[in-house]
Amino acid sequence: MSELSTKRVFVTREHIIPEAIAHLRQFVEVEVWPERSAPPREVILRKALESDGMITEITDQVDKELLDQAPRLKVVANRAVGMDNIDIGEATKHGVLVSNTPGVLHESCADFTFGLMLSVARNIAFGDRRIRAGEWKVFDQIPYLGTDVHGATLGIIGMGLIGTAVARRAQAFDMRVLYHSRSRKPEVEDRLGVEWRPDMDGLLGESDFVSLHVPLTADTERIIGRRELDLMQPHSFLINTTRGPTVDPVALYEAVKTGKIAGAALDVTDPEPIPIGDPLLTLPNVVISPHIASASSSTVKKMGELTVQNVVGALAGTAMPSCLNPKAAANR
C-alpha cells in the first residue's frame, strides 16, 4: 500500500464534482458530505481534525478556530477562485497548503456578465416575469423599452482574467471600455483599446454600465456604497458577479428605488441566499441570479479536476497547479 493511499480527504459536497471525486478515490480515502447544503460547523471542525486534506466550497469557513484544532490537516483545496472563506495567513502559520481554481472559469463568468447586462438593460427577465404573471395582454412594446448595450460605455472595476475577458467581449458590442484596477495593465490597453482610470470615481461618473470583478477583501468590502452610487449616472446599471459584500445592499436598493441609477443585475447578494423578503426583490429593474456565473457544465468539471490535482499534489509532495501559500510547507 502506498503512503498516499493512507491519506484521508473530506469533501464538503458530493453532488457538485462527482467525476473528480471518483478520480480522487483512486489515490486516497475519500469521505463526502452527502447533502446539498453545507455541512454544519461542528461537522466541518470534526472532519478537519480527522483529515489530511479538505475540498471546500466558498461557504465553508476555514479559520483560526478550525486550523488550531486540525494538526493532521495538510491541504485545503477551495473549489473557487475567490478565497475570502479561508484565512490564508493562519493556514500558512499552521503549515496547511491552500489552493484555488484560477484560469478555468473566467470565460464562463464573462459570458454570464454579458447575460446579466443584456437581461437588465433590455428587460429580458422583466418581460419573462410579466408573461408568467399573465400581464402580457396586448402587443405593446412601450412598457418594455430598454437600453442599448452596443455603443455604450462599460466601466470595469478589477482587470484580472475575468475583467479582461469581459472587455474582450465588449469589443463585439462596439463598447467604449474604461477600467480601474489595483495595477495598470498596459498590455491589455494596447490589445483591447481599454482606457485606464486611476481612480474609481471618474469611472463611475463616465460609465453606462459598471461591472465588478474584484476579489472580496477588507479593501473591497462595500466598495460600492451610497457615495459611489451617487456618482453613477441616472441611466446607468450596476453589474455584480464577484461577492455580495462588495456592494452595500441597502444603498443599492435606495439608489434603484429612487432612480439614482437605472437598475442592477446581481449574481451575488449579501446575505446569500437572498431572503425572499429582501426589498431588492420588489424592484422590477433588478435582476438576481443564484451565484451561477461559473456554473457551466464544462467549467464546473474543470474546476473539480484542478481541485483534485491540487489535493493529490499536496499530499504526494509533488507540484500543485495553483498553490497560494507554498511557504506553508516549511511550517509543518
How is residue 16 written as a grid cell? 457538485
How is residue 213 written as a grid cell? 470583478
C-beta atoms surrounding 272 within 10 Å: 16
% of the chain at pLDDT higher than 70? 99
243 is catalytic: yes
23 is catalytic: no
Indicate which residue of 57, 254, 272, 305 is catalytic.
272
Indicate which residue of 90, 243, 254, 332 is catalytic.
243
pLDDT reported for residue 332: 82
| 10 alpha-carbon distance from chain centroid | 23
* Mean of pLDDT over the chain: 97
Mean pLDDT for the stretch of residues 298-314: 98
- What pTM does this model have? 0.94
Does 77 have pLDDT greater than 70? yes
Residues 300, 294: Cα–Cα separation, whole Å: 7
Q: Cα-flanking dihedrals φ and ψ of residue 65, to 5°?
A: -55, -45
Indicate which residue of 150, 291, 305, 332 is catalytic.
291
pLDDT reported for residue 1: 43
Does 2 have pLDDT greater than 80? no
How is residue 74 written as a grid cell? 495538510
pLDDT reported for residue 3: 81
Of 59, 114, 105, 62, the C-alpha closest to 81 is: 105
| 256 alpha-carbon distance from chain centroid | 23
Write out pLDDT tens, residues 248-295.
999 999 999 999 999 999 999 999 999 999 999 999 999 999 999 999
User: Hey, do 4-104+297-331 and 106-288 end up sharing a CATH topology, with the first three levels equal?
Assistant: yes
Domain 4-104+297-331 homologous superfamily, CATH: NAD(P)-binding Rossmann-like Domain (3.40.50.720)
CATH 3.40.50.720 fits 106-288, yes or no: yes
The domain ranges of the chain are 4-104+297-331, 106-288
Write out pLDDT tens, residues 121-136.
999 999 999 999 999 9
Pairing state of beta strands 195-196 and 209-212?
unpaired
| 4 alpha-carbon distance from chain centroid | 32
* Residues with Cβ within 8 Å of residue 326, at least 6 apart in sequence: 97, 320
Write out pLDDT tens, residues 5-39.
899 999 999 999 999 999 999 999 999 999 999 99
291 is catalytic: yes
- Burial class from Cβ neighbours inside 10 Å (0-12, 13-18, 19+) for residue 229 reads buried
Write out pLDDT tens, residues 199-249.
999 999 999 999 999 999 999 999 999 999 999 999 999 999 999 999 999
What's the chain's Rg over C-alpha atoms? 22
